[in-house]
Amino acid sequence: MGFQKNLNNDLPVGVEGDFASTNPYHTLLVGEGEAKAGESGVLIGRFAWFDPDTGTVSNAKTSAKALIGFARRDNTALIVQFTEESSLKIPKGFAVTLYDGGDFWARFAGGAQIGQKVYANTMDGSVNAADSLPAAVDGASFVDTGFVVASNADAGALAKISKY
């Protein structure tokens, strides 16, 4: 834990990638210990794809038959960079559990409104809230995750996402 550098007037609503409720959740059905972080690791709080041919998980979609899930914060990320105070990255080779149902906190760069669909960027797994499929940008396309936004968020803030 790093040195405290600021004080919040209000308590934070949550941490990206964490459960947003105690409702039931559901994980991708893969073999025990089969899903491991790929070459670039896996960022928590984003969507990721499990490649059944290689057993690797990546925030980028690498194959047409890869399965999508949400990378939840379950204390598997490590601080590996010198002077880094926190990390949301699961290093290469570490086990990854992907969730395809449940309630989670996700950070929306462009903000989010209740009821919008959650789309995942196929290049980095980041979330995007929209009423319909966003157009491809800079080579990245988006896929419908089946999740919906369950709380409002300003640009760059956290919102709840849900899927059952």
Report the predicted TM-score, pTM, of the whole model to 2 decimal places: 0.89
pLDDT for residue 138: 77
pLDDT for residue 115: 97
Q: Are 128 and 90 in contact (CB under 8 A)?
A: no
pLDDT digits (tens, 9 = 90+) for 28-75: 998 888 899 999 999 999 999 999 999 999 999 989 999 999 999 987
Tell me the average pLDDT across 139-154.
93
pLDDT for residue 43: 95
139: Cβ contacts below 8 Å, ≥ 6 apart: 123
